[in-house]
């Protein structure tokens, strides 16, 4: 069974540009989460989807970030326009409803120059 996959693995963009990150959860997992780790700091929650609906987006830093999960399968996280402080590693995780464990992808390392 495939795990959570994310791409690209690394993205380097200039300030002001747009970047879209993609996450494919484990098949059958209704819950999908986005997290971010800024250099050397803790991994912080961004938002949680249940199927295609946003269950909790309390961790989204500002309106430059837009997450979607059309059809309740894969999800995208768009940053527009990107700022220097958006640099970090973005993790996606998925879980089955009612289960305590979240399965994480390898992350996308975003570098904004």
Partner 1 sequence: GNSVTQMEGPVTLSEEAFLTINCTYTATGYPSLFWYVQYPGEGLQLLLKATKADDKGSNKGFEATYRKETTSFHLEKGSVQVSDSAVYFCALRHNTGNQFYFGTGTSLTVIP
Q: Which residues bind partner 1 (CB under 8 A)?
A: 3-4, 31, 33, 35, 37, 40-45, 48, 55-56, 59, 91, 93, 95, 100-107
At closest approach, how far in Å is the CB of 57 from partner 1? 11
Which CB, 71 or 101, lies closer to partner 1?
101
Query: What does the chain look like in DSSP terms, one character per residue?
Result: ----EEE-SEEEE-TT--EEEEEE--TT--EEEEEEE-TTS-EEEEEEEETTEEEE-TT--STTEEEE-GGGS-EEEEESS--GGG-EEEEEEEE-TT-S--EE---EEEEE-
At closest approach, how far in Å is the CB of 14 from partner 1? 26
């Amino acid at each position: 069974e495939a795990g959570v996959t994310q791409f690209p693995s690394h993205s380097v963009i200039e300030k002001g540009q747009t970047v879209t990150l993609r996450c494919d959860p484990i098949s059958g997992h209704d819950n999908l989460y986005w997290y971010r780790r800024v250099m050397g700091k803790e991994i912080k929650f961004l938002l949680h989807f249940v199927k295609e609906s946003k269950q909790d987006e309390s961790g989204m830093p500002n309106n430059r970030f837009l997450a979607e999960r059309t059809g309740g399968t894969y999800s995208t996280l768009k940053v527009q326009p990107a700022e220097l402080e958006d640099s970090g590693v973005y993790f996606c995780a998925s879980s089955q409803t009612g289960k305590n464990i979240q399965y994480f992808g390898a992350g996308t390392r975003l570098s904004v120059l």
